Structure formats: structure tokens, C-alpha cells
Amino acid sequence: MQIKNICCIGAGYVGGPTMAVIALKCPHINVTVVDANPDKIKAWNGPLDKLPIYEPGLAEVVGEARGRNLFFSDDIPNNIEKAEMIFMAVNTPTKTEGEGAGMAADLRYVETCARDIAKYSKSDKIVIEKSTLPVRTAEKIKEILEENSTDIHFEILSNPEFLAEGTAIQDLFKSDRVLIGGDETQSGQKAVQALVDIYSNWIPKEKILTTNVWSSELAKLASNAMLAQRISSINSLSALCEKTGANIDELSKAIGMDHRIGPHFLKASVGFGGSCFQKDILNLVYLCKHYGLDEVAEYWHQVVKINDYQKDRFAQKIIDHFGGDLKNKKILILGWAFKANTNDIRESPAIDVSKKLYKNGANLEIYDPIVEQNKIYKVLKSWEKFKNDIIIKQNQSSEIEFYDAIVLLTEWEVFKSYNYQSNIIFDGRYFLRKIYE
Ligand code: NAD
Ligand code: UGA
């Protein structure tokens, strides 16, 4: 099957970069990204230095493909109708109310997509789950599509995304693997092949893995859980290091040199952040409970609990350093993004740590080189008893004036060059340690 038009619903951190790369690598296919938020679409169509997402290399890719075969539009009905292949890349946050609140994935955005696809389609479509979804969601999507349409065949594939923010473009250019799950029927396999053909334009064939739909859906949740589990494991050991005089960096190195373990995701930190690790593990925990696997659920839940413990432990260490009271202590928070090279602040440890310091009376100033000030302010405003008394700095010179403490929460490269001589530093990313030890 020759695909000529792709539509992607959701122009966020996944939809934008993935579609930009597909368009770049497949100039023979028209790729249109649609979104329910017209301001976001306007920004995707605006100046390249003001795209809604900060991601190294993204502006160059968008600059090359936009207007050629990459388009951003708020016309959802027409673009659904026109496409033979539709990606769903909408958000799947943790549910905040109803059954499974605080654990299960909120599927309302995916369900709206499915209803829209059924409503506006006049011909057969391949519908692709790009969002991260609980295993067996495809069943539910199929139900919605079939209930809301007549005489149209929808083939559902799972094609989860494994990019990490900050390295998204490189990850998309050179994926470790592309995973495609499809039905084992003839039409299912035909649809799988159509998607394999697209990725084959730049991904070596041996890196394209095809499975059944359920394996693909679950492999995504499991991959994130395994990555996060390594971080929680090393973070739990950092607590023991502090008690015993062992050095966590030396420990990471020694453990990671075993080729069976490997060095990645063994960097101790203030805790993992980002929109996905926590939500995906909680979703996994919920699924295990749903299937009566309580011991398995508890095993994975511990990964999130250790992460919360680590964030809290880090903030408490600062409070304890000052004898339990931060009144009149001037503290500079360096970094608000959940990791370097992104403007994404979702679940950033900087938020939890700063909130605890503020609650304990600290006089805070915050600086992040990329995160927009209004985004930081929006978070602060949501805090109970926030008195508008935190300074969000627009610039920070490398000569750091006297603060009672500097708290480093994002590993921005620029922070390495600062002159910290007269300050007490709490390094939540452990990345200055080598310079100052
Ligand atoms: P996001 O919040 O950045 O983007 C989602 C977009 O979908 C938003 O712009 C929203 O306006 C739009 N949207 C929601 N419902 C819509 C609808 N019915 N019609 C049209 N537009 C709609 O989310 P994201 O970070 O891109 O994540 C998307 C999915 O990909 C999630 O399931 C996430 O778990 C998964 N994922 C994310 C990453 C990542 O690095 N952010 C990596 C891999 C997988
Ligand atoms: C993560 C996964 O790495 C991606 O494969 C996945 O596609 C994505 O989640 C997703 O599903 O959303 P991301 O959250 O963007 O990507 O970034 P990571 O590099 O995984 O970092 C996550 C958090 O863990 C960051 O706060 C980072 O600072 C922290 N981290 C990472 C550590 O504390 N130690 C490490 O050794 C590695």
C-alpha cells in the first residue's frame, strides 16, 4: 500500500519532532500535524527560533521540510479525511478523578481522537497508536471506531515512541529500534508493512521490530519502567553511600563496567522527572492490580516511591544543613527544566524541591537558561500560600554573588562554567562534584 498523506493528531513533544523527521526522510509523503490548540499550531508555523518546543536540531529539520511536505494545521476534519494513515500522538496523563485516579492513564484525549477519526473518515484508514497506552487499548479504540462509522475499515497499529527529550532528533535519526505491533490477520500485516516501508527510508531493516499489538503496547510501558528502575536503584544506593563513605559516582562506574549491566541510566540524581516515567509506571502498577498481580504491582510501585523519597531527602538535607530553619536564607535555584536541553518542566524535581524549601521559609531566586519565565511563574502561582515573593531571574552572570546556598537541579552545560567559589552548593545532578572535589 502506497501512503501519500499522513495526518498526526497532537503537535506536542512527540507529534512535532517525529512527524518533522518522517517528512524530512520521506519527501514523497505529505505529513500534516494537527492540534486542538490553535496557538500551538500558530507557533509551529511561526519563526524557527520560537517553535513551541526547544529541542536541539529541531529547527533545522522543520526549516527544511515545512511548506515542502510538512504542514501544521488546525483543520482536523479535512486532514483526517485526506490521510491514508493517521498517528495519534496526544497526551495520556495520569487520571486525576474517577476510577483509577492517581494511577491509571487518562484516555479521554485518545478516545476523542478515535471519535474524530470515525466521524471525519470517508475511506479506509490505518490508525496508529503513537501515544503511550495501557496494554489492550487498541481493543477500545477499535470499538469506538466501529461504533461511530459505517462501511469503513480501520486497521490499528501500535508504534510507540522511544525518543528522549533533549536528544529527540538524534534518537529519531538513529533509533535503537522501531517497534510496530499489528494484528496477525492479512489486513493487519499489510498495514504493518506500509509502516515498515515508511521507516525503511532511513532506519536499517534489522532495527525494525514487528510484534503483535499487545506486546508492542506493553513493551513501551515496560521499557520506561526498566529505565526508571535503574535510576531508583542507583538513587537508593546513594543514600547508603552517604551513610558509609562510599562514593556514588565510583559505585556507578564500578557497577556499569560490567557489560551485563552497562553504564547507562546509572547516574545518581535528585530523582527522575519528565512527563512519562512516573505516569507510565503508575499505569503499569494499575494494570498489574487490575489483573490481580499485587506483588508485581508493589514491586514497580517502589520505583516511584524511591523517587519521591530521593527528592524529599535532597530538600531535607538542605533544610538540615541550616539547622531546620530557612528563614532569611537566600537560595538560588539553578535549573527548572526536568533535564538539560529541553524547555519541558513536567514533573521536574526542581518544582518539588523548591516548593519544600519555600514552605520552610527560604528566600528563593530561580534561574533557567531556556524555560520561559511565565511557565515558571504559573507553577509558583499554583502553590498554596504563595506570596509573590520569589524572583525569577532573566539572566545569571557566571559570577555568582553571595547566596547562602546554590541548589543545582538541571544539568545545563552553562552552569559548569559558573564561579561558585564563595557559595555552598547542593548539587542535585552530581555533575559539579568532579570540579569541586
Ligand atoms: P504533549 O502534551 O506535548 O502533546 C499532546 C498534544 O495533543 C497537545 O498539543 C494537545 O493540545 C493535543 N491534543 C490532545 N487531545 C487532542 C485532540 N483530541 N485533538 C487534537 N489535538 C489534541 O504530549 P507529548 O509529550 O507529545 O506526549 C504524547 C504521548 O507520547 C504521550 O502518550 C506520552 O506518554 C508519549 N511519549 C512522550 C515522550 C516525550 O518525550 N514527551 C516520549 C515518548 C512517548
Ligand atoms: C524517557 C525515556 O528515556 C525515553 O526512551 C522515552 O521515550 C521517554 O521517557 C518517554 O516515554 O517519555 P525522557 O523522560 O525524555 O525520556 O528523558 P530521560 O533522558 O530518560 O530522563 C528522564 C529523567 O531521568 C530526567 O529527569 C533525567 O535527569 C533523569 N536521569 C536520567 C537520571 O536521574 N539519571 C540517569 O542516569 C538518567
Sheet with 125-129, edge to edge strand ranges: 70-73, 30-34, 5-9, 85-88, 125-129, 154-158, 178-181, 208-211
**Ligand 1 and 11: CB distance under 6 A:** yes
**19 phi, psi to nearest 5 deg:** -70, -35
pLDDT tens per residue across span 4-32: 999 999 999 999 999 999 999 999 999 99
Percentage of residues in the chain having pLDDT higher than 70: 98
CA–CA gap between residue 213 and residue 142 (Å, rounded): 12
Under 8 Å CB-to-CB from 382, ≥6 apart: which residues?
A: none
- Is pLDDT of 437 > 50? no
Q: Using pLDDT thresholds of 50, 70 and 90, give the confidence band for residue 423.
A: confident
Over range 144-167, report the average pLDDT: 97
To the nearest whole number, what is the mean pLDDT of the chain?
96
241 included as an active-site residue: no
Residue ID of nearest Cα to ligand 2 atom 17: 164
CA–CA gap between residue 101 and residue 186 (Å, rounded): 39
pLDDT tens per residue across span 288-324: 999 999 999 999 999 999 999 999 999 999 999 999 9
| DSSP H stretches of helix in 121-212 | 137-147, 168-173, 186-199
* Nearest ligand 2 atom to alpha carbon 270: 33
Q: Using pLDDT thresholds of 50, 70 and 90, give the confidence band for residue 433.
A: low
The number of beta carbons lying within 10 Å of the beta carbon of residue 188 is 18
More confident residue, 402 or 189: 189
**How deeply is 284 buried, as exposed, middle or buried, from its count of CB atoms within 10 A (0-12, 13-18, 19+)?**
buried
**Ligand 1 and 94: CB distance under 6 A:** no
Over range 104-121, report the average pLDDT: 98
Q: What are the pocket residues of ligand 2 if the criterion is a CB atom closer than 6 Å to any ligand atom?
A: 132, 161-165, 224, 227, 231, 265-267, 269, 272-274, 276-277, 338-339
- Is pLDDT of 419 > 70? yes
Q: Which ligand is nearest to the CA of 428?
A: 2
Between helices 248-256 and 213-244, what is the axis angle to 10°? 140
From 34, 35, 148, 221, mutation site for ligand 1 pocket: most ligand atoms within 8 A of C-beta = 35
Residue ID of nearest Cα to ligand 1 atom 4: 12
Quick one: which of 337, 330, 339, 346 has its CA closest to 367? Answer: 337
pLDDT tens per residue across span 90-111: 999 999 999 999 999 999 999 9
What distance in angstroms lies between residue 35's CA and the mean position of ligand 1's atoms? Answer: 10
pLDDT of residue 421: 84
pLDDT tens per residue across span 362-416: 999 999 999 999 999 999 999 999 999 999 999 999 999 889 999 999 999 999 9
What distance in angstroms lies between residue 193's CA and the mean position of ligand 2's atoms? Answer: 30
Reported as type and span, the H/E element at residue 208 is strand 208-211
- Is pLDDT of 432 > 80? no
Selecting among 7, 8, 26, 276, the annotated active-site residue is: 276
Reported as type and span, the H/E element at residue 381 is helix 373-381
Over range 247-268, report the average pLDDT: 96
The number of beta carbons lying within 10 Å of the beta carbon of residue 233 is 15
pLDDT tens per residue across span 61-73: 999 999 999 999 9
pLDDT of residue 1: 77
pLDDT of residue 401: 83
